[in-house]
């Protein structure tokens, strides 16, 4: 597993990322798959920006320790590509942050 510097700079810890990964619920992408609008649109834009063709997605949450606001709980997603790479993403409600990936060639 490789962790991004931007995720660590924003305050996501490796321990919290690993815990969130272990609790994800993976879903096959099918024509009838339904997600809440904001999360679905965020993942769609993320995949488009990074030119990812997903085969599965996962959702959950991640504990986050804010310097200003204390303990928070953010959205956390996984995207599995057709080549088997997994990318893990934090969602603070305003932006999606790539936090970790299974292989540096994943993006």
The verdict on residue 71 lying in a domain is: yes
Q: Does residue 49 belong to any structural domain of this protein? A: yes
Quick check: is 29 in a domain?
yes
Domain range for 57: 2-102
Find where tokens 């999606």 sit.
96
pLDDT tens track for 62-91: 877 665 666 777 889 999 988 889 999 998
How many domains are there within the chain? 1
76 is a domain residue: yes
Which run of H or E residues covers position 81? strand 70-81
Q: Is residue 107 part of a domain?
A: no
For residue 105, what is the DSSP state?
G
pTM of the model: 0.81
Separation of alpha carbons 86 and 17, rounded Å: 13
Q: How confident is the model at residue 101 (pLDDT cuts 50, 70, 90)?
A: very high
User: Is 33 within the bounds of a domain?
Assistant: yes
> How is 21-73 classified by DSSP, letter by letter?
HHT-EEEE--TT----HHHHHHHHHHHHHTT--EEEEEEEEEEEEETTTEEEE
């Amino acid at each position: 597993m490789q962790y991004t510097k931007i995720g660590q700079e924003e305050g996501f810890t490796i321990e919290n990322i690993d815990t969130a990964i272990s609790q994800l619920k993976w879903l096959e992408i099918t024509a009838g798959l339904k997600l809440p609008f904001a999360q679905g649109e965020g993942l769609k834009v993320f995949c488009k920006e990074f030119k990812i063709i997903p085969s599965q997605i996962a959702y959950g949450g991640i504990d986050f320790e804010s310097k200003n606001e204390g303990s928070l709980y953010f959205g956390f997603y996984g995207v599995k590509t057709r080549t088997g790479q997994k990318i893990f993403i934090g969602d603070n409600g305003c932006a999606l942050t790539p936090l970790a990936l299974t292989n540096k060639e994943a993006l």
